[in-house]
């Protein structure tokens, strides 16, 4: 799907996009499949199955449906009147029509997630809404070769209407799904290629469902019942992602204080105003910082850069991020100058020390780099309360310090080995 956008907007040529799809199809055609269904993970070199778990070592109908959804979207972009594109269309059709949706019903009125060549349907995980698996039923119903019945969708995904909701959360009525809607990827994944705008069945209007789900998620973050830092109407979005402790499907009922940027961005069709506010909302790695300030950084025009960054972060953090950009641009003198302005602010002392150390090392000033790395180690916080990768830094910084200590020692020895200058007569 990204390639469709890239071709349409001129990021790549149509020829490049078609060549890439030809390569993708060539790989998929040779990969392990089970009743037409790919596994969750594949070895990228061999195409062989990489087990997701002991019994999940065969076909994964959900991940396969996401893939087929993308292939069909690409197929629709192709021109059947062009022989080379017609060939790609035919190859995509062969792959998707080989998916045996009917086999994955086990002869019952439901679809099931997994099948293993060793364990069969032992995992027995039914695809029941409301969640990201809707696309499996849509593709199964539309398959010209392995069609599933209406009752499969009714009793499987819809659970004969038991997944309907109708309750109000933050003043917004949720037609379907769990309390508060669940993580936002429920609303995103099936609709990557499925247009909800005119999609309605006897139970629900899917555009209304997706809008309500997204607005409840936004309103929860704006209300911020757990008083997490930085939650607001502009900083919102709960969905599945990594967090400081691992992976979790974040949602209003599983709110761990983690905003996942893809949640608000992917809700753009449903909450355009709220999603654009989230996109414009700043942060240490915001696109606004990169786009608006990199040229000013190169010119060392701090006043203009700070003015640009003022709406999205305080002055100290703005300078800290500009200093990091200086290091990336290998403008080490400018980075050191900025770092020197940051040591009085506790929130940026660690960044200042790390930037200065990296810049001094880049200039070959290893004695100064030693002192700065020692400062960075001293400024490390005691836990993950405001620095998610503190454990990694506790390992990395001493290694960097040791490396510059060795370079500083070699530098001193080289200086001592130099012959003394001749004395003046």
- Could you tell me the domains of the chain? 2-280 (1.50.10.140), 287-416 (1.25.40.10)
Tokens 């000013």, residue? 296
Helical (H) or strand (E) element with 289: helix 287-298
Average pLDDT, stretch 19-31?
97
How far out from the chain centre does Cα 238 lie?
A: 12
Average pLDDT, stretch 97-107?
98
b/e burial code for range 93-115 (CB count within 10 A of at least 16 → b) = eebbebbbbbbbbeeebbbbbbb
Q: Using CA atoms, how far apart are residues 380 and 370, in angstroms rounded to an integer?
A: 16
Contact 350, 386 (CB under 8 A): no
Lowest mean pLDDT among 162-176, 279-293, 395-409: 279-293
Q: Using CA atoms, how far apart are residues 264 and 7, in angstroms rounded to an integer?
A: 25
pLDDT of residue 328: 72
pLDDT of residue 329: 72
b/e burial code for range 42-79 (CB count within 10 A of at least 16 → b) = beeeeeebeeeeebbbbbbbbbbbbbbbbbbbbbebbe
pLDDT of residue 31: 97
The answer, yes or no, to whether residue 368 has pLDDT greater than 80, is yes
pLDDT of residue 389: 62
Q: Which 8-state DSSP code applies to residue 13?
A: -
The answer, yes or no, to whether residue 43 has pLDDT greater than 60, is yes
Handedness of CA 40, 42, 47, 49 (dihedral sign): negative
Please provide the average confidence, as pLDDT, over all residues in the chain. Answer: 87
Contact 237, 264 (CB under 8 A): yes
Rg of the chain over all Cα atoms, to the nearest angstrom: 28
Q: Using CA atoms, how far apart are residues 83 and 72, in angstroms rounded to an integer?
A: 18
pLDDT of residue 285: 37
Please give the residue that has the higher pLDDT: either 294 or 417: 417
Dihedral, CA of residue 296, residue 297, residue 300 and residue 306, to nearest 10: 70
Q: Using CA atoms, how far apart are residues 8 and 11, in angstroms rounded to an integer?
A: 8
pLDDT tier at 97, thresholds 50, 70, 90: very high
3-state SS, residue 365: coil
pTM (2 d.p.):
0.69
Contact 33, 115 (CB under 8 A): no
Tokens 């500009």, residue? 322
Helix crossing, 349-362 with 315-328: angle to 10°?
Answer: 20
pLDDT tier at 331, thresholds 50, 70, 90: confident
Contact 65, 131 (CB under 8 A): no
Helical (H) or strand (E) element with 90: helix 83-97
Closest CA to 311 of 386, 258, 234: 234
Tokens of 34: 């089970």
pLDDT of residue 386: 54
Q: Using CA atoms, how far apart are residues 154 and 161, in angstroms rounded to an integer?
A: 8
Tokens of 380: 């490390």
3-state SS, residue 311: coil
């Amino acid at each position: 799907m990204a390639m469709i956008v890239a071709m349409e907007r001129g990021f790549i040529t149509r020829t490049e996009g078609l060549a890439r799809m030809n390569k993708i199809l060539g790989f998929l055609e040779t990969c392990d499949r089970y009743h037409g269904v790919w596994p969750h993970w594949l070895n990228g070199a061999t195409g062989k199955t990489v087990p997701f778990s002991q019994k999940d070592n065969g076909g994964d109908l959900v991940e396969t449906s996401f893939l087929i959804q993308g292939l069909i979207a690409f197929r629709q972009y192709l021109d059947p009147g062009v022989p080379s594109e017609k060939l790609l269309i035919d190859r995509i059709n062969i792959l998707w029509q080989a998916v045996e949706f009917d086999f994955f019903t086990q002869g019952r009125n439901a679809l099931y997630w997994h099948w293993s060549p060793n364990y069969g349907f032992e995992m027995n995980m039914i695809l029941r809404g409301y969640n990201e698996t809707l696309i499996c039923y849509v593709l199964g119903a539309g398959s010209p070769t392995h069609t599933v019945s209406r009752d499969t969708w009714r009793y499987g995904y819809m659970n004969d209407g038991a997944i309907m909701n109708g309750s109000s959360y933050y003043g917004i009525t949720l037609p379907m799904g769990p309390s508060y809607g669940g993580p936002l990827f429920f609303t995103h994944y099936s609709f990557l290629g499925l247009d909800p705008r005119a999609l309605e069945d006897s139970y629900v209007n899917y555009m209304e469902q997706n809008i309500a789900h997204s607005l409840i998620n936004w309103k929860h973050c704006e209300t911020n019942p757990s008083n997490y830092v930085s939650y607001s109407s502009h900083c919102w979005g709960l969905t599945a992602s990594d967090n400081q402790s691992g992976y979790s499907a974040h949602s209003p009922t599983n709110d761990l204080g983690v905003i996942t940027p893809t949640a608000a961005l992917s809700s753009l069709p449903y909450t355009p105003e709220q999603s654009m506010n989230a996109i414009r909302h700043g942060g240490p790695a915001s696109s606004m910082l990169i786009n608006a300030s990199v040229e000013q950084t190169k010119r060392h025009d701090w006043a203009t850069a700070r003015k640009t960054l003022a709406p999205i972060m305080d002055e100290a953090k703005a300078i800290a991020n500009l200093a990091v950009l200086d290091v990336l641009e290998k403008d080490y003198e400018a980075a050191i100058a900025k770092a020197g302005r940051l040591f009085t602010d506790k929130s940026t002392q660690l960044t200042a020390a790390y930037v200065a150390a990296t810049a001094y090392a880049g200039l070959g000033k290893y004695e100064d780099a030693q002192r700065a790395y020692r400062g960075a180690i001293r400024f490390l916080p005691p836990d993950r309360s405001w620095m998610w990768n503190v454990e990694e830094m506790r390992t990395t910084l001493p290694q960097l310090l040791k490396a510059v200590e060795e370079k500083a020692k070699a530098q001193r020895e080289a200086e001592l080995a130099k012959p003394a200058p001749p004395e003046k007569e």
